[in-house]
Amino acid sequence: MSNHRYETELRSEQEHVAGLYARLDGERVRARREYQAALGDNGESPLERDVRVRSLGREVRRLDVADNGLCFGRLDAVSGEHSYLGRIGLFDQENDYEPVLLDWRAPAARAFYTATGATPEGMRRRRQFLTRGRAVLDFTDEVFGRPGADERGDAALLAAVNAPRGEGMRDIVATIQAEQDEIIRLDHPGVLVIEGGPGTGKTVVALHRVAYLLYTQRERMERHGVLVVGPNPAFLHHIGRVLPSLGESDVVFMTPGDLVPGRHVTAEDGAAGAKGSLKMLDVLGKAIADRQRLPRTPVPIGLGDVSVRIDAETAEWARDEARASGLPHNEARAVFVDIVTYVLTERAIARIGRGWLTRDDRESWEDLRRNLLGQLQGDDVFTATIDELWPGLTPESVLSGLYTCPERLAAAGADPALLRTDGEAWTVSDVPLLDELVDLLGRDPAVDKAAEGAAAQERKAAADYAAGVMDVLKLDREELDEDVLLTAENLLYAEDLAGHFTERDTRELAERAAADRDWTYRHVVVDEAQELSEMDWRVIMRRCPGRSFTVVGDLAQRRNAAGARSWGGMLDRYVPGRWVYRSLTVNYRTPAEIMAVAAALLAEFSPDVQPPDSVRACGVRPWSRQVSEDELAAAVEQFTRDEDAREGTCVVIGPPDVPGAVPPSETKGLEYDAVLIVDPGKILAEGPRGASDLYVALTRATQRLGVLHRDPLPPALHALAPLTPATDAT
């Protein structure tokens, strides 16, 4: 293309994209105006208004996120028609809502990602824009079917992967590759497993799949939302902007330590392997049963003028009946109490009525029973005994009581390694156990009764207030201040009197879902899924009864002893025949020079795994340098100082005794322009988990990798270039 023609077409594209932004601005004004209007009184029911307000709120947010990179490309068909593609869709409302900008998820946009010179799919050209803000700076064309044309197709991709990393993961709507697009649009209603080595884009593909599902199945999914489970808070922060940048906000982000509302657990412990096994189900059941006790000696209870006893035989009968009811522990307490009170009142009635009362006089017998039941309810000894024999339990009390008592651990058949001093020093592996106990224990009726009483008081206060407003309206209208009258009328008309004062949950879906343990999602994404234990999977499966999942992971990076050794081993129990497997084979992040080092390590600890092929080289060899104890701090500081002078991000990864270093586990799923690993031998010394951690650390860099070591370098890292004082590491 001649320079003159290029300049002409560039100006034309700039004008067209400017027109799209003008249309976007107009849509924003309209959406905000309608949103504000919906907040007022439109004669709608409260439910109708809530639905409308939330729908318009989502539309406002969708339009607000599209400013950067609104339009990123154009697709020209052989027929002469062409379409512009962007992160959201825009329509011409004056022309039968004809699309003027295709949403990247629309079926008509697929060829932008999948057409090639060999299979052009009826397309003649793919044009990709280089933009900054609202300006189109440049474009590149790939013309299908011409010799050598395919070579230009990677221009946008290489520009993206070579660009310096900023804060947070970026969306890839402009550079989705064909193998990624196939996975994103896969029509599978069950569980999709996406496995890929470091840098293959499996996480961002999974997030774009969520955006695609929300686009194609909006009505089915938006009422319940999507849950994304990631390994740690840093990872969730890293990926947290991808879906909002695509206009999707009905998404909840959690770590495994957040899955029980009110708990935000990040600590790990050495007993994770034992806690993650399904054997813990039996342990928890026995731990609860151990709290359902029999009295060592009979307990006397005074009823009227007689004394009756709660003995082991009575308690055992009550316990057997309560267990046989199939109810959770706290709910089965009512059965236990009913049996005990029946026995006590029967014995007391027989003594009190001796000589004058028989069972044939049912009315008198039951009247006396009701009187005795009232006495029992107020008897402190009876209440304390019931609490001792069948206590109301919480998940926390069961688990902490188990962890701090060797006798209880033994009675439950638990691993003695679970013993600890502080029973409530919760770790991530405790969370699925706490969640399991919620179901095993059930709700505490006493707590529910107190909550119902408080709610009844609030409703009464609301009704009293509404009645007061009605009394105000009965006054002479001329005696009322106009604003007061208008307010009262609006309240009564819009909310049907006292109904206005019934509290409605106005929180966004994501906030409501995150706070509700019983919330169920339409779709769940599980990232770094190889780390989840059998008990973790039980928690997550409860959150999605429809079993619609995108599971992302790499078995070669597993560090949790209780994690997955095969996908079928974890999933066949829940979705037999309903899960499919897809792999990503191209590494878009790690340059070939660095991947060669990581591949040598992988070959030692996981020789059956094929590392992904890097799509590029960076031209900088990764290096190693041995330093003394006294030299280490200065060498780390020099690396940080040198990298601060460059554009991009950097990280120091190493053991706890290295100032400023982070452990490899905290960098999973993250990426940096430059990485410095300190003492890889110490990381490897952690056993199989150590090899996985070092593999993770080696594959975080997108440009530069350096290694400092005080002890001799592990043989697996022989591919590193030794660095001497005279060698330039850059």
Question: Binding site: which residues?
Answer: 196-203
Annotated binding-site residues for ATP read 196-203
Distances from the Cα of 559 to the Cαs of 401, 555, 686, in angstroms?
29, 9, 10
Residue that the structure tokens 């092929």 belong to: 613
Can you tell me the distance from the alpha carbon of 175 to that of 172, in angstroms, rounded to the nearest whole number? 5
> Strands 523-526, 306-310: parallel, antiparallel or unpaired by DSSP?
unpaired
Distances from the Cα of 464 to the Cαs of 484, 499, 562, in angstroms?
18, 12, 57
Amino acid type, 596: A
Residues facing residue 103 across a β-bridge: 86
**What interhelical angle do 279-289 and 395-403 show, nearest 10?**
100
Amino acid type, 74: R
How many CA atoms are closer than 13 Å to the CA of 359, on its beta-carbon side?
Answer: 3
Can you tell me the distance from the alpha carbon of 177 to that of 404, in angstroms, rounded to the nearest whole number? 53
φ/ψ of residue 683, rounded to 5: -65, -45
> Which residues are CB-neighbours of 193 under 8 A, at least 6 positions away?
529, 551, 552, 553, 567, 571, 579, 580, 581, 582
Q: DSSP for 182-227?
A: HHHT---SSEEEEEE-TTS-HHHHHHHHHHHHHHHSHHHHTTT-EE
User: 241 with 169: CB under 8 angstroms?
Assistant: yes
User: 676 with 653: CB under 8 angstroms?
Assistant: yes
Class of residue 462 by CB neighbours under 10 A (exposed 0-12, middle 13-18, buried 19+) = middle
Q: How many CB atoms lie within 10 A of CB 561?
A: 16
Q: DSSP code of 292?
A: S
Coil, strand or helix at 525? strand
> Which residues are CB-neighbours of 703 under 8 A, at least 6 positions away?
591, 618, 620, 648, 673, 674
| Among 450, 578, 608, 513, residue whose Cα is nearest residue 224 | 513
Residues facing residue 650 across a β-bridge: 674
User: 709 with 623: CB under 8 angstroms?
Assistant: no
Coil, strand or helix at 114? helix
Helices of type H across 413-524 = 431-441, 445-473, 482-495, 509-515
Can you tell me the distance from the alpha carbon of 539 to that of 519, in angstroms, rounded to the nearest whole number? 12
Can you tell me the distance from the alpha carbon of 51 to that of 36, in angstroms, rounded to the nearest whole number? 14
Can you tell me the distance from the alpha carbon of 397 to that of 409, in angstroms, rounded to the nearest whole number? 14
Q: What is the CA radius of gyration of the chain?
A: 33
User: 601 with 717: CB under 8 angstroms?
Assistant: yes
